Structure 1
Amino acid sequence: MKLKSILAAGTAAALLVGMLVLPAGARSATVPAQQEVTQVVNALGIMVGDSQGNMQLDRTVTRAEFITIAVKASPNGDQVGEASTSPYPDVPYTHWAAGFVEAGVATGLITGYSDGTFRPSNQITLAEGVTIVLQLLGYSNEDFSGAYPTPQMALYHSLKLDRGLKAQNSSDVLTRYDAMYLFYNMLSTNTKSGTPYINSLGHSLNAAGEVDLVALINGVMDGPLVATGNWQSSIPFSLSGVTVTRDGEASSLSKVQEYDVVYWCQSMRTLWVYSDKVVGTIQAITPNTAAPTAVTIGGHSYELDSAAAVYALSDLGTYDLGDTVSLLLGRQGKVAAVTDPIATTSERCGVVTKVTRESYSDGYHSSYTADTITLLATDGNSYNYECTTHTYEVGDLVGVNIAADGTISLKRLQAAKLSGKVSSDGSKIGSTPLADGVEILDVYENSGTRVFASRLAGINLTQDMVSYYTMNGSGEIDRLILNDVTGDNYSYGLLTRMDVLPSGGLTNYYTYVYDVGGTTYTLPNITTGFPVSTGGVIIKGDLTNPDKIYNLTKVTATSISGNQLIASNRSYTMADNVVVYEYRNGSYYLSSAQRVQEKGLSLTGWYDKAESNGGRIRIVVAK
């Protein structure tokens, strides 16, 4: 293959190091996970799979395929259409890649052979692919001198475009796997002018200089669509073999139910499905019905996420204050649609965290006040409910029944005990299975955290750990309320200073300084002496006025592997929100597990309790 920048016979290509301006800052040499790489190139439409989503990563790449990928990875590359003429004798205008070959030649990314052919089926080598990518990054023939491809390959390695590629030598033939990683690496690489390449595609990197996958998918996701009637015909691609995620877990098309909310991405061949619904009386529409942005039901405000939801709650729509409705919730708990109460009976349960008096609309543009409970439900959200027949106290277990007509009734629940070891895959407690999407709430006093079944894997639950559970018609646990099992309700940090000031009398004064997630808190001259020393600590209660502070257990570690902290021949699971610090020049700085591992620093971990009891490494300090 001859590229335009190296077409002249004998064109030299050695890097002019003194003249070339390289991007500032060293990029991580860590190889990104294949799943993440695949999702990124799919989301951008750079590389996609076949009709079943198979990426065929082991197959070698032809010239026609590579230039197609390169053009799709360029600004406005998704706007390339069919070729108007045949760009080469062996690439007629009817060829599947003719439009991309024509565009690649027009932009100078590629050219044909001296005999006037393009040879679209020829395999492409690493050096040839690298040269095209460097041109996309803004480098031209003037940036190189010497023997091709030595300088191109030197720059390729210097820019860390080689992360994850299996091809090693310049003459190695590229596979689709290699091409995928090469273009993924290009996205976070600075162009010759000094800006990340992904900026030219209308996206950006996160604070760590990496492709922001969440923001990227947000930008290419379509929807929402309510799954009613023949909803599948509204998705603009075949759903055969499509990837489905429902309520954050891998699922299938057959699990999508009526009134679920669906989002999709054609290039990723993925559906994201959400099943949460709220039934109740509209208490407020804000800021007004002329241009509503949120609706309040059960004392909880929900942001509107679609034009249909906005219209339904506007002064032009169907619903007003005092009406009983169903809110169909999509991403981030936002309202995708508003409907009449869905003709099913639903139930919610949780723990009372607050009792107050609130104002309600009577449906006739007047209001009244009533006792109101705040219920922390097993779905992790808090809801307010009017109490008309019973009184409740903080800590009570309460069930909420919502009838098909939207009528809401509350009932005090009796404790339901359960014991057994959670299986290693988090699918059952003892011999009792957990339902798909089981709602689990771990409660400590008047606060709680929703956890997923996988978080409980391996824990031996005793009866005093389980406050309440319900089962569905299939004999599966579908709601579970725990009593302070995981420890995920607390704050964890580093106690960096503790001073004791004798008062001369019977009472001493104590000052504590601790860092939690990069924020420093000081308790000056208090009379409470907590039984702690400097190091990793657990903090219960308000961070500015805690109920308890005590030390975590310390372990000296050698490395980090995935979510495991390795200490000698033993490993400890790190919490999902583990906080990592670097200690430099007498101060602690927030860091990351990846960074401290790459720097080869000595590691100290701090855990709260045994992993079999739900414990995790909460703090890591690197020196």
Structure 2
Amino acid sequence: MKKRLLSALVCAALVFGLAAAGFAAEANPTVEEAAQVLSALDIMTGDENGDLHLGKTVTRAEFTKLTVAASAWADSVGPAASVSPYPDVPKSSWAAPYVQVAKEKGMVMGSLSGYFEPDRNITLVEGVTMVLRLLGYQDSDFSGVWGSGQMAMYQSLKLDKNISAGRDDAMTRQDALWLFYHLLTAKNKSGQVYLATLGHTLTAAGEIDRVALVNSVMEGPLVAEGNWQASLPFAASTAKVYRNGKAGSLADVQSLDVVYYSKPMRSLWAWSNKVTGSIQKISPSASSPTSVTVGGQTYTLETSSAAYALSDLGAFQTGDTVTLLLGRSGGVAAVRTPGESAGVTYGVVTGTGNASYQDKDGKSYTASTVYVTATDGNPYSYQWEDKNRKFEAGDMVQITAGDDGFQLKKLSATSLTGRVNAGGTALGGYDFASDVEILDTCGDGAALRVYPSRLAGVSFKDKMVRYYVLNENGEISRMILSDVTGDIHQYGVLTDVTESALGMTLLSSYVYDVAGVPGAYTSKTSIWNLEKGPCQIKMDGKEIGRIYNLTGAELTAVDGNTAVAGARQYTLSDSVAVYELRNKKYYLTDLSRVTGGGYDLTGWYDKAASEGGRIRVIIAEAE
């Protein structure tokens, strides 16, 4: 009657619309998180609209169905019962197949008079008894008045958390939800965690891994084109929809998005990632392709349809210009021509040179190449033989794909000013699109993708925005910045500074430590007027271009990613470097080690938060 997929797929480093606080079952999960787990396991899935009706009471027949769904025999339930399991449960009843399996496997018992009473509301003690039978306990394992031992075990196994019903009270569906949720992490009579007996693994901490569960029931992918919704096993209009990891609506799903779905969860996950470029290589061969190289990047083929399209039986071959539609794990879900997918890429040139390519016969040749970091943060390479149009590192470019190949065009600056709101959803008078791509750049090609939340509260002035693009809804879809976040640079401490000016001769030597790795920079032509202590290092290619001292603030508290200095709050960098200063020497340490008391802390930042700054370095000195 139901098909349970027990093999968990590899977790991708992506968010599938799960709670941002983490994917393992928390010590105090919300109702929504618990419901998501039971839905993924096809235990409690709700009605045709996904409504769980948690306030309603549960009948014995309904609870039996839940119990069977949570058991190892869930797949053995047929479409109809072969016999009438009880006089009051005829074989024609919707509940008969479940009650028959439950009776045969010892999960349920009838009354002394031989009836099951399927329509009577189930009491907590009855529900607990059925769940304990899933854990391998029988009535004979308990002494005393019936039910007292079961209720004691119920409390001992911590199955009672969040449940409001008393022993003889009628259970609500919310009570049932919590009972089955806690069942999953309870140990059975043999000492094995129950969820593991169903074929699912737990995290190293022994908790429920919701990502693995969602992966195990996720199907697809489909491409959002034509009548794609007809391929779903439920009405798309009733589904929960996530696009690029964010909750949304069906209207947010765009043409040629790659879509995954889950019937028990009644959910859709859409991804908009695309790559346009020339096919440089099909590996290991066109007769049996498993990967394709486009724009200098190699992508695994995720679907049989993508493999067919790139095989010697399909429509594409080496040298063709294509757009790859990428799935949630970054593999190729489908292949389309650029005309179908309107392949336009924006980015910054990181360099030029020669690269090796394959022609349609599989023979290698060398051609001039432009290397670009696109707004999606990935590096690409494009064959470019037009000697009249040259590109240099740092140039902003637009790459347009067509049937006849690529066109690269330099972009002129289009400045934008305003403040990003606290939610990181809008800049000035423009909203950020749900699939916005933002690239922060510095110098001759250094680039890093950043996300709108990183820019929350930043005031954009002058030339902080180098270029932006609006989509058809008037939202910012692509944006290139000029060193707004400072996250491109390296941060550490200067451990020694030597500077001298003798007449026209300038000499300098700087010794530094970045993340515990020492380094040095010397110059015979300049001095930078630096002091020992926390610093920012800006690179020029592979060489140091400039070093700056940071600005300090004595911290009175650190909580999470926030530091307090007097009446001011500062945000810590995600990669804040922490050093202990002992006997005038710096020792790399961990923030958790120095925030428990006993240390004076100083935070060092590169610029104001309103300009994109963060505390980059924390120095701890013993009190």
Range with greater deviation from structure 2 (94-103 or 442-451): 442-451
Tell me how far apart the structure 2 counterparts of residues 564 and 35 of structure 1 sit (CA, whole Å).
28
- Residue pairs, 1:350-361, within 5 angstroms: 350-361=347-358
Tell me how far apart the structure 2 counterparts of residues 79 and 619 of structure 1 sit (CA, whole Å).
59
Partner SS state of residue 32, structure 1: coil
Tell me how far 1:267 sits from its aligned partner: 0.5
Return the TM-score normalized by structure 2: 0.78
Tell me how far 1:57 sits from its aligned partner: 1.9
- Contact 2:578–2:589 (8 Å) recurs in 1: no
- In structure 2, relative to structure 1, the CA distance for the partners of 1:425 and 1:551 (3 Å cut) is closer
Tell me how far 1:223 sits from its aligned partner: 0.9
Residue 427 (structure 2) pairs with residue 410 (structure 1): no
Residue 102 (structure 2) pairs with residue 107 (structure 1): no
Tell me how far apart the structure 1 counterparts of residues 619 and 613 of structure 2 sit (CA, whole Å).
18
- Contact 2:237–2:250 (8 Å) recurs in 1: no
Tell me how far apart the structure 2 counterparts of residues 567 and 106 of structure 1 sit (CA, whole Å).
67
Match for residue 518 of structure 2?
523
- In structure 2, relative to structure 1, the CA distance for the partners of 1:210 and 1:511 (3 Å cut) is same
- Contact 2:323–2:341 (8 Å) recurs in 1: no
- Residue pairs, 1:122-141, within 5 angstroms: 122-141=120-139
- In structure 2, relative to structure 1, the CA distance for the partners of 1:181 and 1:52 (3 Å cut) is same
Partner SS state of residue 291, structure 1: coil
- In structure 2, relative to structure 1, the CA distance for the partners of 1:401 and 1:316 (3 Å cut) is closer
- In structure 2, relative to structure 1, the CA distance for the partners of 1:439 and 1:29 (3 Å cut) is closer
Q: Of the candidates 163, 171, 176, which is equivalent to residue 174 of structure 1?
A: 171
Tell me how far 1:559 sits from its aligned partner: 6.1
Match for residue 195 of structure 2?
198
Partner SS state of residue 464, structure 1: coil
**What are the superposed Cα offsets for residues 491-516 of structure 1, whole Å, 9 maximum, x if unpaired?**
789x8xx97799xxx999968584xx
Tell me how far 1:195 sits from its aligned partner: 3.3
- AA aligned opposite 2:108: I
Range with greater deviation from structure 2 (413-422 or 569-578): 569-578
- In structure 2, relative to structure 1, the CA distance for the partners of 1:392 and 1:472 (3 Å cut) is same
- In structure 2, relative to structure 1, the CA distance for the partners of 1:454 and 1:289 (3 Å cut) is same
- Contact 1:499–1:510 (8 Å) recurs in 2: yes
Tell me how far 1:580 sits from its aligned partner: 11
Range with greater deviation from structure 2 (364-373 or 483-492): 483-492
Tell me how far apart the structure 2 counterparts of residues 188 and 619 of structure 1 sit (CA, whole Å).
41
- In structure 2, relative to structure 1, the CA distance for the partners of 1:473 and 1:188 (3 Å cut) is same
Match for residue 472 of structure 1?
471
- AA aligned opposite 2:83: T
Residue 330 (structure 2) pairs with residue 329 (structure 1): no
Match for residue 360 of structure 2?
363
- Contact 1:538–1:551 (8 Å) recurs in 2: no
- In structure 2, relative to structure 1, the CA distance for the partners of 1:525 and 1:579 (3 Å cut) is closer
- Contact 1:294–1:301 (8 Å) recurs in 2: yes
Tell me how far apart the structure 1 counterparts of residues 34 and 215 of structure 2 sit (CA, whole Å).
16
Match for residue 30 of structure 1?
27
- Contact 1:538–1:552 (8 Å) recurs in 2: no
- Contact 1:109–1:132 (8 Å) recurs in 2: yes
- Residue pairs, 1:35-184, within 5 angstroms: 35-81=32-78, 82-141=80-139, 143-146=141-144, 149=147, 151-163=149-161, 165-167=162-164, 169-184=166-181
Partner SS state of residue 66, structure 1: helix
Tell me how far 1:105 sits from its aligned partner: 2.0
Tell me how far 1:295 sits from its aligned partner: 0.5
- In structure 2, relative to structure 1, the CA distance for the partners of 1:152 and 1:539 (3 Å cut) is farther
- In structure 2, relative to structure 1, the CA distance for the partners of 1:507 and 1:398 (3 Å cut) is closer
- AA aligned opposite 2:481: L
Tell me how far apart the structure 2 counterparts of residues 605 and 76 of structure 1 sit (CA, whole Å).
60
Match for residue 12 of structure 2?
none
- In structure 2, relative to structure 1, the CA distance for the partners of 1:475 and 1:129 (3 Å cut) is same
- AA aligned opposite 1:465: M
Tell me how far apart the structure 1 counterparts of residues 103 and 603 of structure 2 sit (CA, whole Å).
58
- In structure 2, relative to structure 1, the CA distance for the partners of 1:360 and 1:134 (3 Å cut) is same
- AA aligned opposite 1:432: Y
Tell me how far 1:298 sits from its aligned partner: 1.4
Name the count of aligned residue pairs: 568
% identical equivalent positions: 46
- In structure 2, relative to structure 1, the CA distance for the partners of 1:61 and 1:526 (3 Å cut) is farther
Tell me how far 1:101 sits from its aligned partner: 1.8
Tell me how far apart the structure 1 counterparts of residues 64 and 95 of structure 2 sit (CA, whole Å).
9
Tell me how far 1:236 sits from its aligned partner: 1.9
- Contact 1:279–1:406 (8 Å) recurs in 2: no
- In structure 2, relative to structure 1, the CA distance for the partners of 1:615 and 1:62 (3 Å cut) is farther
Tell me how far 1:620 sits from its aligned partner: 10
Match for residue 258 of structure 2?
261
* C-alpha RMSD of the superposition: 4.2
Match for residue 517 of structure 1?
none
- In structure 2, relative to structure 1, the CA distance for the partners of 1:130 and 1:352 (3 Å cut) is farther
Tell me how far apart the structure 2 counterparts of residues 167 and 565 of structure 1 sit (CA, whole Å).
40
Tell me how far apart the structure 2 counterparts of residues 469 and 101 of structure 1 sit (CA, whole Å).
62
Tell me how far apart the structure 1 counterparts of residues 571 and 610 of structure 2 sit (CA, whole Å).
11
Tell me how far apart the structure 2 counterparts of residues 569 and 92 of structure 1 sit (CA, whole Å).
73
Q: Of the candidates 282, 285, 294, which is equivalent to residue 282 of structure 2?
A: 285
Unaligned runs of 5+ in 2: 1-23, 499-506, 524-529, 580-586
Tell me how far apart the structure 2 counterparts of residues 266 and 227 of structure 1 sit (CA, whole Å).
17
- In structure 2, relative to structure 1, the CA distance for the partners of 1:573 and 1:511 (3 Å cut) is closer
Partner SS state of residue 326, structure 1: strand
